[in-house]
Amino acid sequence: MAKILVIDDEKSIRRTLKDILEFEEYEVHVAEDGKTGLEMALNESYDVIFCDIKMPRMDGMEVLQKLQENGVEAQVIMISGHGNIETAVDSIKMGAYDFIEKPLDLNRILVTIRNAKEKSSLLTETKVLKQKISKTSSSDIVGESAGIMEVKKMIEKVAPSQARVLITGENGTGKELVAQQLHKLSERSKLPFIEVNCAAIPSELIESELFGHEKGAFTSANKMKKGKFELADGGTLFLDEIGDMSLSAQAKVLRALQENKITRVGSEKDINVDVRVFAATNKDLVKEIEEGNFREDLYHRLSVILIKVPPLNERLGDIPLLAEHFMKQICGNQGIAEKKFTEGGIKALQEINWTGNIRELRNIIERLIILCDSEITEEDIKLFANPKG
């Protein structure tokens, strides 16, 4: 159900629009002046905003400007009883979706709302498409070793379901790629894939990041913010390094998984969400549970399916394929000619102790591309790759 805000200083206009739109099963909020309307628009998420131009405290054009400056994504429809072509053009240039003159025509209003909603849907689809395109080149899992083939087989089986997945493995093994592939092959692939690195967010901010916050919820909360659960609604949420999440945040995540509801920080209102959750960790969560650092009930909620990504030292046979893959990717991105590895160069790569796994290998391939001539030899590997034994 679309949510609509009507900002107009004429009580009769507010009441008429509210009655008509509620009859059409829209959720309608009203504001009697521009300043009140702006505050509501910054604190709530609306699909469409009707905004009068001539109003006390703050006129409609100023409201429109403030909405644009604050990145409000609602489609704004300007309305006025004193309109002219110049005013209409100015409002469209400033970012309004449309301009309607008073007295308001019912059919025009309903058609405009429908078209505005369609535009919002197209913008959302475009964002998702851009997100998918940006990850296409890096989302495929490269390798033919027994361990990685088992991972691929699990992904194919699990992705079409709605099951939650816990992905384990050392740092740099490619846990994020596994999550991306699961989403890519799922029924939710056309909807958002939202990532959260739990280790990179301070513990005092993780709840706001996941669940959002209301304006004034804490000192720096200048406006309402949607959390990652809301942004991932209908799609997939990837909680990377979940072993680093605070116990209080774990409790709220557990509730979200149990009830499919979240509550923004500073609010008592429940918000329904439909999110498939993947989680990843480099920690032994069973040990973390024993030490009181991780909730056992959350572990069981997350680990419906377990996928363990093998370290690179257990899949050395994949190094030739990975080296070629990164060579093509890096040279393609930088617009330079590809270089070749000699047989000795590949063998030298396979003799390295890969404590940093795939991430370390990619970094070394990039370094070799920059520093070496057209052919990368065993001597180059020993000189530039800094083997650890």
Q: State how beta strands 75-80 and 48-52 pair.
A: parallel
Domain segments of the chain: what residues?
3-120, 140-310, 313-384
Fold match flag (140-310 vs 313-384): no
Contact 380, 344 (CB under 8 A): no
Structure tokens belonging to residue 321 = 């394929």
Nearest CA-CA partner of 300 in 315, 311, 314, 289: 289
Residues contacting 326, CB < 8 A, separation 6+: 361, 362, 365, 366
> Exposure pattern of 370-386 as b/e (b: 16+ CB <10 Å)?
eebeeebbbebbeeebe
Nearest CA-CA partner of 145 in 322, 309, 357, 318: 318
- The span from the CA of 141 to the CA of 153, in Å, is 12
**Considering the domain 3-120 in this protein, what is its CATH number?**
3.40.50.2300
Query: In the prediction, which pLDDT does 224 show?
Result: 87
Residue range 313-384 forms a domain whose CATH class is mainly alpha
Return the residue matching tokens 């033919």. Answer: 144
Q: What global pTM score does this model have?
A: 0.67
Q: Each residue's pLDDT tens digit in the chain (389 positions)? A: 689 999 999 999 999 999 999 999 899 999 999 999 999 999 888 999 999 998 988 999 999 999 988 888 899 999 988 767 788 888 888 899 999 988 888 889 999 998 988 887 777 666 655 554 444 444 479 999 999 999 999 999 999 999 999 999 999 999 999 999 999 999 999 999 999 999 988 888 899 999 999 988 887 788 888 999 999 999 999 999 999 999 989 999 999 999 999 999 998 899 999 999 999 999 999 999 999 999 999 999 999 999 999 999 999 999 999 999 999 999 999 999 999 999 999 999 999 999 999 999 999 999 999 999 999 999 999 999 875 44
Return the residue matching tokens 């050395």. Answer: 316
Query: In the prediction, which pLDDT does 83 show?
Result: 63
Query: In the prediction, which pLDDT does 203 show?
Result: 81
Q: CA-CA distances (angstroms) from residue 60 to 41, 44, 54, 130?
A: 13, 18, 6, 33
Query: In the prediction, which pLDDT does 128 show?
Result: 59
Nearest CA-CA partner of 198 in 141, 169, 237: 237
Phi/psi at 375 (nearest 5 deg)? -120, 130
The third-level CATH classification (topology) of the domain covering 140-310 is: Rossmann fold (3.40.50)
